[in-house]
Amino acid sequence: MSNPKDLLYSESHEWVKMLDDTTALVGLTDYAQSELGGLVFVNLPEVGDEITAGETFADVESVKAVSDVYSPVTGVVAEINEELLDAPEKINEAPYDAWFVKVSDISAKEELLDADAYDEFIKGLE
């Protein structure tokens, strides 16, 4: 799967889709889901929670492990994708459609990579 060009990426393998200057969707990249293996559960924050760039805001469970998901932005959780709670496999099947949270009131961002830079970054890891 190639990484969509209209998204931004973090080095901890999250993607960000800016909907406008202060709102975004966040999810896990294809590289992340393939490294994690079959996911069985997602622990999401609550609507209204404040999240901070670089800190964990959710976690995903596979059969034998739990992995933290880091927020690329600082803001407030406006919506959570409840579909993922019942069908976490969607993250494996279509990672770029499986948004975790919609974040509003974004006041800060991590240093994010564009699609090409992220592709390079992954090549470096392999």
Which residues make up the interface to other proteins (CB under 8 A)? Answer: 38, 40-41, 46, 59, 61-66, 88-89
Task: Decide whether 25 or 91 has the Cβ nearer to other proteins.
Answer: 91
For residue 67, how many other CB atoms are within 10 A of its CB? 17
CB of 94 to other proteins, least distance (A): 16
Task: Decide whether 26 or 36 has the Cβ nearer to other proteins.
Answer: 36
- The C-alpha R_g of the chain, in whole angstroms, comes to 13
CB of 45 to other proteins, least distance (A): 10
Task: Decide whether 50 or 97 has the Cβ nearer to other proteins.
Answer: 50
- Which residues, in sequence order, are bridge partners of residue 103? 24, 77
CB of 86 to other proteins, least distance (A): 10
